[in-house]
């Protein structure tokens, strides 16, 4: 990669020298060609096996063989990919191998992307964090819930994954976000808590945020996210895919639940989006990481606010939640991340914003493989990101 960048620089200098040496009577200096963002993204994604971190490779091979990891992995450090690989099947029944551009359901790793979609509207002045859900849905039966509370899981709303189970009759037809909002209005299931009470992770929060994005912009959530988040970040293999739109979601990667003989069938709960429903690749998530770091999605002050712990989750404040990001705050080394688990897919997106390190793991085998990453963190000289590795005071147990 470094050789390629050096070549670009040399080409740039040659163009400048040629322009300066022109015999043109007006001595016009031609401007060198501007390097496009797409070209910069292509350079960022360059990777060859010669760059491979062998310790990470040995670890991933063991994780695949011993813990059943089946999926794709990307690890980057100091703006360079140091490991990139695929392990296993896209669809076990077809014995169809994964490749590095395979698209996975991100599950709850969709939430950081949805949060950035919300903050983009805040940046434009089209939305404020203090507005309430009732500003957009006047009949919403749970008053005084703000955008900020939705982002940080402090709304106290009931979880739609449970209360719709006995209401929605068409099991193979996906629900739309607006239809879930309408069911909340009609059936008024009991809320879990009061607004701005304790942290309670809840998919209804991000479904509601996606519905508010549609209300504010007048655009389908999938269209808005493509225009405002995916395309600016260079994420051309990423899309919002809903079973409310597709009879069968168009992906070749099939989710499997713990064992190969159990592939997970899409159902009505694969309709709502924002809390999940974004499909992407490890490369596209890395481009998203870079776009955030470079301020190409939202400005740095607003982005920093999303990393601030708005809700303490556990271990004496060591683990918390911001706006769409889980937060991990070991001394002098803040990390933001998110996990995901949905219908046979599990995912992990870790961003060490102090040391400029990124870990992306996407799997279509919903087993415990992503709970066995201590060695990977140690190889990268990062704090171990596992709650059970710490006691209640936040002290590392080294177990």
In a domain, 399, yes or no: no
Q: Which CATH number does the domain housing residue 266 bear?
A: 3.40.710.10
| pLDDT confidence of residue 23 | 39
Q: Are 215 and 132 in contact (CB under 8 A)?
A: no
Q: Indicate whether 251 and 301 sit together in one domain.
A: yes
Residue 154 burial by Cβ neighbours in a 10 Å radius (0-12, 13-18, 19+): buried
Length of the chain in terms of residues written: 399
Shared domain check, 278 and 179:
yes
pLDDT of residue 20: 43
Q: How many CA atoms, within 13 angstroms, populate the side-chain half-sphere of residue 105?
A: 33
Rounded to whole angstroms, the Cα distance separating 260 from 365 reads 8
**So what's the pLDDT on residue 30?**
59
Residue 198 covered by a domain:
yes
Do 17 and 77 lie in a common domain?
no
Question: Both 251 and 343 in a single domain?
Answer: yes
- Name residues whose C-beta falls within 8 Å of residue 60's C-beta, 6 or more positions apart in sequence: 69, 73, 83, 85, 87, 376
| Strand extents, DSSP E, the chain | 71-77, 80-87, 89-91, 96-97, 104-105, 239-240, 278-280, 311-314, 319-321, 326-328, 335-342, 345-352, 357-363
Same domain, yes or no: 74 and 118:
yes
**Residues 203 and 295 reside in one and the same domain:** yes
Cα–Cα dist 191/289, whole Å: 35
Residues 22 and 82 in one domain: no
- Which residues, in sequence order, are bridge partners of residue 96? 91
**311 among known catalytic residues:** no
**Residue 242 within a domain:** yes
Q: Is residue 397 part of a domain?
A: no
In a domain, 395, yes or no: no
CB 344 within 8 A of CB 264: yes
Same domain membership, residue 317 and residue 189: yes
Query: Is there a single domain that holds both residue 110 and residue 26?
Result: no
On whether both 94 and 196 belong to a single domain, the answer is yes
For residue 396, is it within any domain? no
On whether both 230 and 355 belong to a single domain, the answer is: yes
**Cβ of 171: how many Cβ atoms within 10 Å?**
10
The whole-number mean pLDDT for each consecutive block of 10 residues of the chain, a chain of 399 residues, reads 44 41 46 85 94 96 97 97 97 92 98 98 98 98 98 98 93 96 97 94 98 98 98 98 96 86 88 98 98 96 95 93 97 95 97 97 96 98 96 88
Phi, psi of 300 (to 5 degrees): -65, -40
Residue (of 206, 212, 210, 213) closest to 136 by Cα position: 212
Global pTM reads 0.91
Rounded to the nearest 5°, which phi and psi values hold at 107? 55, -130
**What is the number of structural domains in the chain?**
2
Tell me what pLDDT residue 290 has.
98
Torsion, CA 394, CA 388, CA 398, CA 357, rounded to 10: -80
Cα R_g (the chain), whole angstroms: 23
Residues 25 and 49 in one domain: no
Pick the catalytic residue: 102, 108, 310, 347?
A: 108
Domain that holds residue 68: 43-389
CA atoms within 13 A on the CB side of 284: 25
User: Residue 191's closest CA among 171, 208, 214?
Assistant: 208
- Please give the order of strands across the beta sheet that includes 80-87: 80-87, 71-77, 357-363, 345-352, 335-342, 326-328, 319-321, 311-314
In a domain, 398, yes or no: no
């Amino acid at each position: 990669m470094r050789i390629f960048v050096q070549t670009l620089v040399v080409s740039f200098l040659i163009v400048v020298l040629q322009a300066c040496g022109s015999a043109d009577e007006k001595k016009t200096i031609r401007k060198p060609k501007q390097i496009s963002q797409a070209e910069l993204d292509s350079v960022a994604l360059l990777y060859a096996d010669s760059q491979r971190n062998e310790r990470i490779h040995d670890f991933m091979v063991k994780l695949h063989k011993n813990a059943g990891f089946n999926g794709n992995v990307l690890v980057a450090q100091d703006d360079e990919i140091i490991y990139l690989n695929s392990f296993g099947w896209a669809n076990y029944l077809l014995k169809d191998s994964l490749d590095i551009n395979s698209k996975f359901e991100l599950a709850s790793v969709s939430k950081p992307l949805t949060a950035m979609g919300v903050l983009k509207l805040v940046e434009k002045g089209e939305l404020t964090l203090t507005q309430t859900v009732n500003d957009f849905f006047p009949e919403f039966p749970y008053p005084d819930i703000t955008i900020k509370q939705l982002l940080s899981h402090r709304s106290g709303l009931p979880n739609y994954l449970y209360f719709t189970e006995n209401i929605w009759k068409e099991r193979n037809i996906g629900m739309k976000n607006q239809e879930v909002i309408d069911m909340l209005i009609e059936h008024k299931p009991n809320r879990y808590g009061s607004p701005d009470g304790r942290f309670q992770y809840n998919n209804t929060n991000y479904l509601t945020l996606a519905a508010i994005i549609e209300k504010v912009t007048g655009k389908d959530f999938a269209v808005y996210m493509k225009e405002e988040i995916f395309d600016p970040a260079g994420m051309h293999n990423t899309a919002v895919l809903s079973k409310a739109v597709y009879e069968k979601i168009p992906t070749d990667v099939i989710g499997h639940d713990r064992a190969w003989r159990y592939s997970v069938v899409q159902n009505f709960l694969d309709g709502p989006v924002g809390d999940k429903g974004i499909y992407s690749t490890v490369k596209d998530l890395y481009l998203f990481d870079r776009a955030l770091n470079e301020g190409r999605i939202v400005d740095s002050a607003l982005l920093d606010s999303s990393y601030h712990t708005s809700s303490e989750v556990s271990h004496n404040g060591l683990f918390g939640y911001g706006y769409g990001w889980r937060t991990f705050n070991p001394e002098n080394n803040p990390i933001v991340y998110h996990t995901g688990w949905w219908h046979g897919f599990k995912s992990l997106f870790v961003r060490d914003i102090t040391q400029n390190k990124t870990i992306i793991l996407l799997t279509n085998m919903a087993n415990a493989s992503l709970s066995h990453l201590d060695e990977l963190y140690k190889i990268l000289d990062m704090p171990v990101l596992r709650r059970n590795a710490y006691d209640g005071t936040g002290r590392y147990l080294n177990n």
